[in-house]
């Protein structure tokens, strides 16, 4: 399974869509998760421009006040959708991965920047998982928070509110029974143009059951090109 997670900071312009399609095709991506489309409407034509071929299904949620917006595209010959669950800041796909006949949940996330919004997102996901019969979960997320201080370099200290966020995201991950799988390529997923500040806000999180179906998964940080955050590839 290959899942690409990409915070594009606005899905506008042919040049940006061409670059995304090149990454999708080069890495033979099977599921594409896009965060921050900043679009009110997504069309099948737009998805085709990103995916590069005709065989795909897709789901999207619109941006709110020209911010946010999520898009999921996948190969229906590989992943068969059973149910789509949408909430503020996430799209969840429940379905069957045909090669192994494994039922799984794939979640595309873009978290709010404020603490109240983060808590609402984490609570919604925790409640869903507690009532879901499928145990193999994979979250592709821009959580807009670091887990530990080492995931932030060149920043001006750690404020009390940031420390609280780190504690609460740890609790969320623990409650969800998820693991942060190995990271390859580089340590940080975002940096300023002058490279003086670097953070890791983007990550894949998977459940133990997911790891049982697809052992030894890793997430590769790809080169930054069209957006401040680097794309992440689960492989």
pLDDT in tens, 6-35: 999 899 778 889 999 999 999 999 999 999
Q: Assign 74 to helix, strand or coil.
A: strand
Query: Residue 92 class from Cβ within 10 Å (0-12 exposed, 13-18 middle, 19+ buried)?
Result: buried
| H/E segment holding residue 140 | strand 137-142
Query: Residue 161 class from Cβ within 10 Å (0-12 exposed, 13-18 middle, 19+ buried)?
Result: exposed
Tens of pLDDT, residues 151-175: 877 665 566 777 888 899 999 999 9
Domain count within the chain: 1
- Structural domain boundaries, residue 124: 3-234
CA distance 84 to 74: 13
pLDDT of residue 157: 55
- Averaged pLDDT of the chain: 90
Determine the average pLDDT of the residues in 172-193. Answer: 83
Which percentage of the chain shows pLDDT scores above 70? 94
pLDDT bucket at 190, cuts 50 / 70 / 90: low
Q: Which of 126, 113, 108 is nearest to 203 (CA)?
A: 108
CA distance 89 to 14: 26
Residue 220, phi then psi, degrees to nearest 5: -105, 125
pLDDT of residue 232: 92
pLDDT bucket at 63, cuts 50 / 70 / 90: very high
pLDDT at 115 over 80: yes
**At 225, which CATH number?**
3.60.10.10
Per-residue tokens: 196: 């003086």
């Amino acid at each position: 399974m290959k899942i690409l997670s990409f915070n594009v900071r606005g899905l506008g312009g042919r040049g940006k869509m061409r670059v995304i399609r090149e990454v999708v095709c080069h890495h033979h991506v099977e599921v594409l998760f896009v965060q921050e489309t900043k679009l009110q409407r997504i069309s099948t034509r737009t998805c085709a421009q990103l995916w590069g071929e005709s065989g795909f299904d897709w789901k999207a949620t619109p941006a709110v006040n020209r911010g946010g917006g999520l898009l999921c595209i996948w190969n229906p010959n590989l992943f068969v959708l059973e149910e789509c669950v949408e909430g503020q800041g996430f799209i969840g796909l429940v379905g069957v991965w045909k090669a192994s006949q494994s039922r799984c949940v794939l979640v595309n996330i873009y978290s709010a920047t404020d603490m109240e919004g983060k808590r609402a997102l984490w609570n919604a996901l925790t409640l869903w998982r507690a009532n879901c019969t499928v145990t193999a979960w994979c979250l592709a997320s821009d959580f807009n928070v670091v887990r530990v201080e080492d995931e932030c370099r060149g920043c001006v200290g750690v404020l009390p509110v940031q420390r609280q966020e780190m504690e609460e995201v740890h609790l969320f991950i623990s409650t969800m029974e998820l693991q942060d799988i190995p990271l390859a390529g580089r340590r940080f997923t975002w940096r300023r143009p002058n490279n003086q500040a670097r953070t890791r806000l983007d990550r894949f999180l998977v459940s133990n059951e997911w790891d049982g179906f697809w052992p030894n998964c890793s997430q590769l940080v790809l080169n930054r090109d069209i957006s401040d955050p680097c794309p992440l590839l689960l492989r």
